[in-house]
Amino acid sequence: MTTILPTQEQQQALAQTVNLAEIEALGRARLDRNALEYYASGANDGHTLHANRENFGHIRLRPRMLVDVSAIDISTTVLGLPLDFPVGIAPSAFHGLAHPDAELATARAANAAGSVMTLSTFSNTPIADVGQAAGGRLWFQLYLLADRELSREIIARAEASGARALVFTVDAPYLGRREANERHRFALPPHLSAPNVATPQELAGVETDTGSQLTNYFQNLVDKTFTWNDLAWLRQQTTLPIILKGILTAEDAELAVQHGCHIWVSNHGGRQLDTAISAIAALPEIADAVAGRAEIYLDGGITRGTDVLKAVALGARAVFLGRGALWGLAAGGEDGVRRVLELLRDEVRLALALSGKQNLGQVGRDLLKM
């Protein structure tokens, strides 16, 4: 597997970045309109998209003083997998729009940083190849397909490729309306495909004269009849832990626990139901309902180490980056994703120390002023 190295100019630009916003600016500048609108778009008016970010700023920290913070430990575990710090990579489709190395670069970066990558069903790279690059630090995200046999085959491939968990996305029986994608008829360029679910010929045959190619393809692909009662079928297909991604209420969190699943608090990056609650605003009621009976994760709006700390204080075991990783990938391939993770790791360590905490086990709601 080859690696496309960043140019000297890209390396210098990355080295000069001091936060994720600067890496985002670099990444955005290197994407064409098709890719940029796909990554950046939210549903409808973008209220939930913006709330994911803005609601972190409404939460204040209550730091304690005169604590020995000479040794800081920001490590944690997710489902028994050690992480160097509580940040992973969320599933997002089509990394090949950002960089030729696509999901391979993201997986290598996550592995090198002691993190974990969640591979999307709609990756541009076969599961087995990403599994090799991830070095045992791989989860797999599943859309439950109307073709149950194909779903079964995909799950088996994920297990054989070293995935340590199955992340079942529950908030997308239909795709949310991302108007920029509809207006400009988003489509994959000819050199990219979605090898886990479709042949290049199948994708090429999807109508793109009206609306988004992905929306037109997706509408008949996913099982819209799947309910809580069908989770027993999913459990029969795998021995992996199952994480339900897209939970936003205490009621659904309770049902998830009753069905033996872990919980991923998410509104799909603001791309599904606009004006839905932000992930960080939903977290407290979910953590109260779960009461330690399952692990909880969160994505949506993470750009700072203080965001990570706030999510942990409210009950998340770890947080996951969606767009942040994609901006890094566009800015500099594997090096760009690694730079994103390194900057966030250093910010988490500093935020923990300045809050008067020595490790993540000491972080609770007493740290916050809501």
Q: How far apart are CA 325 and CA 92, in angstroms?
A: 9
Q: What would the DSSP string read from start to end of 102-143?
A: HHHHHHHHHHHTT--EEE-TT-SS-HHHHHHHHTT-EEEEE-
Inter-CA distances, 320 with 191, 276, 279, Å = 28, 19, 12
pLDDT tens-digit map of 217-246: 777 889 999 999 999 999 999 999 999 999
Say which residue the tokens 């599943």 belong to. Answer: 142
- Of 44, 109, 26, 17, give the one whose Cα is nearest residue 331: 26
What would the mean pLDDT of 63-81 be, rounded to a whole number?
Answer: 98
Residue numbers of the domain that contains 85:
41-369
SS3 content of the chain, % helix, strand, coil (to 5): 45, 15, 40
What would the mean pLDDT of 11-25 be, rounded to a whole number?
Answer: 96
Domain membership of residue 302 (yes or no) is: yes
- Of 51, 53, 43, 55, give the one whose Cα is nearest residue 273: 43
pLDDT tens-digit map of 153-200: 999 999 999 999 999 999 999 999 999 999 998 989 989 999 998 766
Domain membership of residue 165 (yes or no) is: yes
Contact 7, 331 (CB under 8 A): no
pLDDT tens-digit map of 82-111: 999 999 999 999 999 999 999 999 999 999
State the sign of the Cα–Cα–Cα–Cα dihedral 146, 118, 240, 261: negative
Beta strands in 166-233 (DSSP E): 166-169
Q: How far apart are CA 255 and CA 227, in angstroms?
A: 11
Q: What is the CATH number of the domain that holds 130?
A: 3.20.20.70
In this model, does residue 277 exceed pLDDT 80? Answer: yes
Read off φ and ψ for residue 155, nearest 5 degrees.
-60, -45
Q: What would the DSSP string read from start to end of 236-285?
A: HT-SS-EEEEEE-SHHHHHHHHHTT-EEEE--GGGTSSTTPPPHHHHHHH
More confident residue, 153 or 205: 153
pLDDT score, position 349: 98
User: Parallel, antiparallel, or unpaired for β 81-83 and 76-78?
Assistant: antiparallel
Largest CA distance in the chain: 65
Domain membership of residue 29 (yes or no) is: no
- Of 118, 131, 130, 116, give the one whose Cα is nearest residue 85: 116
What would the mean pLDDT of 116-136 be, rounded to a whole number?
Answer: 97
Domain membership of residue 25 (yes or no) is: no
Percent of the chain with pLDDT over 90: 88
Tokens of 53: 């970010």
Read off φ and ψ for residue 179, nearest 5 degrees.
-65, -35
Tell me, rounded to whole angstroms, the distance of Cα 363 from its chain centroid: 23
Domain membership of residue 347 (yes or no) is: yes
Domain membership of residue 23 (yes or no) is: no
Q: Which of 95, 99, 262, 268 is catalytic?
A: 268
Tokens of 313: 């204080």
In this model, does residue 367 exceed pLDDT 50? Answer: yes
Tokens of 27: 């990444």
Label residue 216 by pLDDT band (50, 70, 90). confident
Contact 330, 31 (CB under 8 A): yes
pLDDT score, position 219: 79
- Of 160, 173, 214, give the one whose Cα is nearest residue 35: 214
Helix (H, G, I), strand (E, B) or coil at 318: strand
Beta strands in 280-362 (DSSP E): 296-299, 318-321
Domain membership of residue 8 (yes or no) is: no
Helix (H, G, I), strand (E, B) or coil at 145: strand
Question: Considering the chain, what is the average pLDDT of its residues?
Answer: 94
Q: How far apart are CA 108 and CA 17, in angstroms?
A: 21
Count how many domains the chain has.
1
Instruction: Respond yes or no: is residue 268 known to be catalytic.
Output: yes
pLDDT score, position 207: 47
Domain membership of residue 109 (yes or no) is: yes
Tokens of 188: 């994959």
Element (H, E) at 197: none
Label residue 204 by pLDDT band (50, 70, 90). low
